[in-house]
């Protein structure tokens, strides 16, 4: 059975392999994106202040996701490369060490939730109601975040062995539980007390614990990698190899925390409606971007396995298939955001002021969707071959060198409508850098691989 599973990523035709590996992850991320949208819809119908509070809390949640996803990407890449090289013990250590590192990371975020939630929200506003809402939401989500760390790491372990079906079940189950609990706890249905934004936080962490329990169960049942007690003891070389890919990914995604925090600070100068619109856009764009990141997740183990097995043609084929799928999704997203922004904003009980801001924002930002899809696919190549630092360089340049300064300058001198052009400027720079690194690494690491 083990040999059959190992051969899957090395011999199965690439188009069907990439689609079979990616589709369950894409579907689960679509469900996750749907949850994010529905969650925000319930909060927005509770009050605009609640939606603004959740938006202001997002950077810390994004930092948590950055650490958990970044670490698990390192685990995924290392585990799949070890399997490709037939190093089963190395793959086992990658999985066990990854879970241990995730548990250690949780302690850090639990402390942030306890001691820094209120100061963080107070950085944006002096509105005591807004501060109270944001503090409640962040404190609960961060203190009880061990489940999401375990869930994400276990899902990446499963994906690294070629199992993308069970991660779909795990994410889908958690999202459905969350969607069911949200209106019950936010509005106080079926005899439950009306908890408002605190109810949204409780629903989120409860669903994450359901997902974590499922994830642990499926990892224990997986036949490709059997974790033992020794697997969980940190090994210096394994940790180093995990973070060789994982740390750049963490930094790359953590930069999003700096970006969203700074953008929220800039936008609140234009009023709370501008912040709320930005929050709505972030949730809606996830419905477009999440499937492409799911494609990325499905591609990484295929690329990593075939890189370890020294099969460059299969790596190139994987990139080509990924491009076709990614650009198709992004084109569809661009068309929807361009021609139906009023409909999208209407889902969130948008006021006239929010509609006026949001229509312009969505039409302008969506102009960069297609180039972003191109970049995300090539990120899978960089991460799959162990060159995660490249993604980090591109992300830093895009968000801190181009996007943030451009947003500040355009907003200050030309107004809110012009600010949204900063996304196009940043994405154009990111595309140029991505192509440069791809050409360099393809010639250096892929073209003559196995020759």
Task: Say whether pLDDT at 1 is over 70.
Answer: no
**Tens digit of pLDDT for each residue in 399-413?**
889 999 999 999 999
Task: Say whether pLDDT at 417 is over 60.
Answer: yes
Task: Say whether pLDDT at 241 is over 60.
Answer: yes
**How much is the pLDDT for 357?**
95
- Choose the weakest-confidence range: 313-327, 334-348, 384-398: 384-398
On whether the CB atoms of residues 189 and 111 are closer than 8 A, the answer is no
**Tens digit of pLDDT for each residue in 328-353?**
999 999 999 999 999 999 888 888 99
**How much is the pLDDT for 3?**
42
Task: Say whether pLDDT at 450 is over 70.
Answer: no
**CA of residue 260 relative to chain centroid, distance:** 14
- What Å distances lie between residue 46 and 71, 118, 312, 332, 349, CA to CA? 35, 21, 53, 31, 10
Between 343 and 38, the higher pLDDT residue:
343
Q: How far is Cα 106 from Cα 232, in angstroms, rounded to an integer?
A: 16
**How much is the pLDDT for 451?**
55
Between 89 and 3, the higher pLDDT residue:
89
**How much is the pLDDT for 416?**
95
- Choose the weakest-confidence range: 6-20, 39-53, 177-191, 428-442: 6-20
The counts of H helices and E strands in the chain are: 19, 0
**Tens digit of pLDDT for each residue in 156-200?**
888 888 787 888 889 889 888 998 999 999 999 998 999 998 999
On whether the CB atoms of residues 246 and 70 are closer than 8 A, the answer is yes
Between 254 and 111, the higher pLDDT residue:
111
**Tens digit of pLDDT for each residue in 376-389?**
999 888 888 878 78
What are the phi and psi torsion angles at 43 (to 5°)? -65, -40
Between 112 and 81, the higher pLDDT residue:
112
pLDDT band at 390; cut points 50, 70, 90: confident
Q: Is 216 exposed, middle or buried (0-12, 13-18, 19+ CB in 10 A)?
A: middle
Around Cβ 414, how many Cβ atoms within 10 Å? 11
Task: Say whether pLDDT at 436 is over 80.
Answer: yes
Around Cβ 409, how many Cβ atoms within 10 Å? 13
Q: Which residues are within 8 A (CB) of 443 and not within 5 positions of it... i.e. 6 or more apart? A: none
Mean pLDDT over 88-96 rounds to: 87
**How much is the pLDDT for 5?**
44
């Amino acid at each position: 059975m083990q040999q059959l599973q190992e051969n899957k990523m090395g011999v199965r035709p690439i188009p069907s392999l990439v689609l079979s590996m990616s589709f369950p992850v894409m579907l689960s991320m679509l469900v996750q994106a749907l949850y994010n949208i529905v969650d925000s819809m319930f909060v927005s119908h509770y009050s605009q202040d609640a939606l603004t509070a959740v938006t202001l809390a997002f950077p810390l949640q994004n930092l948590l996701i950055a650490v958990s996803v970044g670490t698990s990407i390192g685990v995924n890449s290392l585990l799949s490369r070890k399997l490709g090289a037939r190093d089963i013990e190395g793959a086992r250590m990658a999985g066990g060490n990854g879970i241990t590192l995730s548990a250690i990371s949780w302690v850090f975020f639990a402390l942030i939730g306890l001691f820094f939630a209120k100061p963080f929200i107070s950085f944006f506003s002096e509105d005591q109601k807004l501060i109270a809402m944001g503090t409640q939401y962040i404190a609960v989500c961060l203190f009880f975040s061990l489940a999401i760390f375990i869930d994400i790491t276990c899902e990446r372990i499963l994906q690294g062995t070629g199992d993308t079906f069970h991660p779909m079940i795990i994410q889908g189950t958690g999202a459905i539980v969350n969607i069911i609990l949200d209106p019950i706890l936010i509005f106080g249905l079926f005899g439950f007390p009306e908890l408002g934004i605190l109810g949204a936080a409780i629903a989120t962490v409860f669903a994450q614990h359901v997902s974590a329990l499922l994830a642990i169960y499926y990892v224990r049942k997986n036949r490709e990698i059997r974790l033992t007690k020794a697997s969980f003891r940190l090994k210096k070389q394994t940790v180093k190899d995990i973070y060789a890919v994982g740390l750049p990914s963490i930094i790359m995604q953590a930069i999003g925390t700096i970006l969203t925090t700074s953008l929220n600070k800039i936008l609140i100068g234009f009023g709370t409606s501008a912040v709320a619109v930005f929050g709505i856009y972030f949730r809606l764009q996830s419905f477009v971007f999440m499937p492409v990141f799911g494609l990325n997740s499905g591609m990484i183990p295929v690329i990593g396995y075939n890189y370890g097995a020294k099969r460059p043609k299969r790596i190139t084929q994987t990139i080509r298939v990924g491009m076709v799928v990614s650009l198709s999704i992004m084109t569809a997203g661009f068309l929807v955001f361009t021609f139906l922004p009023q409909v999208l904003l209407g889902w969130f009980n948008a006021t006239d002021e929010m509609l006026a801001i949001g229509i312009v924002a969505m039409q302008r930002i969506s102009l960069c969707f297609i180039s972003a899809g191109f970049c995300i696919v090539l990120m899978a190549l960089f991460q799959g071959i162990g060159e995660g630092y490249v993604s980090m360089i591109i992300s830093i340049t895009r968000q801190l060198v181009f996007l943030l300064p451009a947003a500040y300058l355009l907003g200050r001198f030309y107004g809110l409508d012009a600010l949204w052009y900063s996304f196009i400027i940043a994405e154009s720079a990111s595309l140029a850098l991505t192509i440069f690194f791809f050409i360099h690494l393809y010639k250096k690491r892929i073209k003559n691989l196995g020759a």
